[in-house]
Amino acid sequence: MKTNTKQRILDAALALFAEKGYDGTAMREIAQKAGINQSNIYYFFDGKSALLDEIIEALKIIVADELGRLIEKPHAKAFTALMKKLAKQRDAIAILMQEAAKQSADHLSLAAFSKDVYARLNLQTHALNETDTFIAGLLMLSLTAYGDDWRKEYGIGKTAAYTAFTDMLIRTLHLEGTPET
């Protein structure tokens, strides 16, 4: 029951942060959307910033896991799987990018996000560095958050965009070989 309540709180916060922004969302609204009393939120979280931190932490894990899979097998199918997984995180990504743009919290910067993802990758046999991870992460997050818009603007199909992006990502990450379809 506790896990269910905690997840309902996180889901409500994610939806409201995506809809109204972090600053525009009140704890009262999160409680109402989660169907609980506002005081119950504080059983699980110290405050609104702790909710945001947990949402972003979950996103870091997903990005690191999926990027790790792509690094292991750099091909278009792996990239498509990564993008499908990230598409389910579109709201969290949008929140990260909105909050990072404010630069009011150092731990929410895209560079800090990237460093945490890099640390989670635990790469011992690959020459990937933090700068590469930042660029790759920024590309992935941008494509997820804004890809549909720019694909429509430039008349690029999803398959062509993913193939081109996979090639660019492989070059950025200095991976061997070329993207397989």
Instruction: Tell me the three-class secondary structure of 84-103, residue by residue.
Output: HHHHCCHHHHHHHHHHHHHC
Helix (H, G, I), strand (E, B), or coil: what is residue 109? Answer: coil
Write down how long the chain is: 181
Together in a domain, 131 and 156: yes
Continuous H helices in 21-157: 27-34, 38-44, 48-72, 76-87, 90-102, 110-121, 130-154
Return the half-sphere exposure (C-beta side, CA atoms, 13 A cut-off) of residue 121: 29
Together in a domain, 88 and 152: yes
Q: How many domains does the chain have?
A: 2
Mean pLDDT per 10-residue interval, the chain, length 181 residues? 84 94 94 96 94 91 80 69 80 83 64 75 59 70 74 82 72 55 45
Question: How far is the C-alpha of 32 from the C-alpha of 138, rounded, in Å?
Answer: 34
Together in a domain, 25 and 79: no
Cβ-proximal residues to 80 (8 Å cutoff; 6+ apart), any chain: 162
Give the distance between the most distant pair of CA atoms in the chain. 55
Q: Considering the entire predicted model, what is its pTM?
A: 0.76
* pLDDT of 36: 96
* pLDDT of 125: 47
* pLDDT of 179: 46
Together in a domain, 129 and 108: yes
Together in a domain, 75 and 163: yes
Burial 125-145 (b: 16+ CB within 10 A, else e): eeebeeebbbebbbebbebbb
Write out the residue range of the structural domain in which residue 1 sits. Answer: 1-45
**Other residues' Cβ atoms within 10 Å of the Cβ of residue 116:** 19
Together in a domain, 126 and 88: yes
Together in a domain, 89 and 168: yes
Together in a domain, 40 and 86: no
Tell me the pLDDT tens digit for each residue of 95-128: 888 887 775 655 566 777 777 777 777 654 455 6
Together in a domain, 41 and 95: no
Together in a domain, 62 and 88: yes
Residue 178: inside a domain? no
- How does DSSP classify residue 155? T
* pLDDT of 176: 52
* pLDDT of 27: 97
- Which CATH number do you get for residue 25? 1.10.10.60
Side chain identity at residue 31, one-letter code: A
